Amino acid sequence: MATDIVVEGPQLDSAIVEVLPATDTVVEEPRLDGPIVGDELWKALPATDRVVKKPQLERAFVEVLPATNTVVEEPRLDSAIVEVLPTDEKVLTVERYGVSNWAYTARVNVQSRDGSARAYFLKILLASDAAERVLGEYTAMREIYDTLPSIAPRPVGYGECRDQEGHFFICDYLELDHTLPDPVRLGEKLAELHRKSESPTGMFGFHCTSFDGKLPLNTTWESSWTTFFQTLMRDVYKLDVEVNGFWQELDDAVQTTLHRLIPRLLDPLTSDGRSIKPCLIHGDLWEANIGTDAYTGEIYIFDACAYYAHHEKELGIWRCKHHKLYGEEYRQEYFKNYQPSEPLEEYDDRNRLYSVETLLINSAHFPGSETRQRALDEMRYLIEKYIPDDTPVAAKI
């Protein structure tokens, strides 16, 4: 019967287990590995089975479970993570959730003393720079949440794990639909974030190093947007060269871009009495970092590498063909709420310039990617248009 529950203590013969219906729930206490239920039997369990084990489940077992299984552990959540949660909450389950190229991700289900339930999203990193990365993500998401709480899940905490290797970041869990967001609503919410934000220094940059994926961005405070973007581009280009090697044609274009093209396109933003406001941007706003609340339809953004920038910089990523938000619709809807800066006739070329940084950081993440060639093509287009007498500038990597 589907409602049967078999409790094992201390052991259940494997022949008996094999004749049970696939929908049965097996509760084991206290052992799952070893002579009672071996690795081969574990791997043979149907994907619909629900395995409950206390007090611990070895990582090797978790790694072979299908993504649809629910693993209930009591209470094996690192004590450092438990400490950042409210004291009246009891951890019920920890389940794998989502996909990340750089981290282990999970959903933590808890229950308060009053019986109410809630969930958190947990990320654990094992890299050598994990401490900096979780600090960067927490600070970025805290800055966004404090500016506009309706656009981001609430950050709860971050730090170093105490009972295992790794560093963690944890925030509220939201039930999100990850289909492409509504362009109108996204444009409204993003413009609201940019408008409400206020740089604490009045400059461009951020409190700490922001990480785009696994790679650091130079977000040192700078009063000049031209200088800030030159530094950002230069350091992203260095990351690309470290991974993909030196390419003379690309280097020629980058040096001209750094020393001549960027000043040509960005200096006019603050000339003839003009000024631009440092706005808090998400920094990596591709479709995987945007979700729509399954119940309210509200749009949320997450996994940020935030910093204070020219508001148009946020939209550079939406010009890149390797992302699904590519195209003019999303940009046009945003600009209905926050217009481009003067000179207006050059805003599309500024958007093209800003996209080059996105293309180069993608190339640095994925060696051999065609985004490196696309970055070169975009720079060549702009150089031919704005620096027609271009002669290569000496490399200064």
Over 50: is that where the pLDDT of 270 sits? yes
Here the CATH number for the domain that contains residue 300 is 3.90.1200.10
Over 90: is that where the pLDDT of 17 sits? no
Residue 397 domain-assigned (yes or no): no
What is the average pLDDT value for the chain, to the nearest integer? Answer: 85
Q: Which helix (H) or strand (E) holds 131?
A: helix 130-147
Over 50: is that where the pLDDT of 285 sits? yes
Closest CA to 108 of 135, 130, 90, 125: 90
Here the CATH number for the domain that contains residue 106 is 3.30.200.20
Residue 168 domain-assigned (yes or no): yes
> Mean pLDDT over residues 51-58, rounded?
36
Q: How many helices (H) does the chain have, and how many strands (E)?
A: 12, 16
- In the chain, the largest separation of any two C-alpha atoms, in whole Å, equals 84
Q: How many CA atoms lie within 13 A of 194 on its CB side?
A: 26
The pLDDT value recorded for residue 47 is: 41
Tokens in use for 52? 């409950």
% of the chain exceeding 90 in pLDDT? 76
Tokens in use for 239? 């990351």
Chosen domain end from 48, 72, 96:
72
Q: Do 226 and 242 have their domain in common?
A: yes
Chosen domain end from 18, 45, 72:
72
> Which single residue is written with the structure tokens 């950002």?
232
> What distance, in Å, lies between the first and last C-alpha atoms of the chain?
69
Residue 300 domain-assigned (yes or no): yes
> Mean pLDDT over residues 27-36, rounded?
35
> Which single residue is written with the structure tokens 């280097």?
251
Q: Do 145 and 183 have their domain in common?
A: no
Check if the beta carbon of residue 107 is closer than 8 Å to that of residue 94.
yes
Over 60: is that where the pLDDT of 80 sits? yes
Over 80: is that where the pLDDT of 395 sits? no
Chosen domain end from 32, 53, 72:
72
Better-predicted residue by pLDDT, 92 or 34: 92
Q: Do 190 and 287 have their domain in common?
A: yes
pLDDT one-digit tens code per residue, 350-393: 999 999 999 999 999 999 999 999 999 999 999 999 998 866 65
Q: Do 62 and 206 have their domain in common?
A: no
Q: Do 168 and 197 have their domain in common?
A: no
The pLDDT value recorded for residue 394 is: 54
pLDDT one-digit tens code per residue, 337-362: 999 999 999 999 999 999 999 999 99
Q: Do 16 and 38 have their domain in common?
A: yes
The pLDDT value recorded for residue 21 is: 54
Q: Do 307 and 362 have their domain in common?
A: yes
Residue 155 domain-assigned (yes or no): yes
Q: Do 239 and 141 have their domain in common?
A: no
Look up the domain containing 142 and give its range.
Answer: 75-173
Q: Do 247 and 106 have their domain in common?
A: no
- 293 strand-pairing partners: 176
> Mean pLDDT over residues 257-283, rounded?
98
Q: Do 363 and 314 have their domain in common?
A: yes
Helix (H, G, I), strand (E, B) or coil at 25: strand
Q: Do 241 and 328 have their domain in common?
A: yes
Between CA 121 and CA 377 the distance in angstroms is 39
Over 70: is that where the pLDDT of 157 sits? yes
**How much is the CA Rg of the chain, to the nearest whole Å?**
25
Q: Do 185 and 136 have their domain in common?
A: no
Domain count, the chain: 3
pLDDT band at 68 (very low <50, low <70, confident <90, very high): very low
The pLDDT value recorded for residue 46 is: 39
pLDDT band at 216 (very low <50, low <70, confident <90, very high): very high
> Mean pLDDT over residues 205-210, rounded?
98
Better-predicted residue by pLDDT, 213 or 2: 213
Max mean pLDDT range (5-9, 28-32, 50-54, 345-349): 345-349
Residue 395 domain-assigned (yes or no): no
Residue 396 domain-assigned (yes or no): no
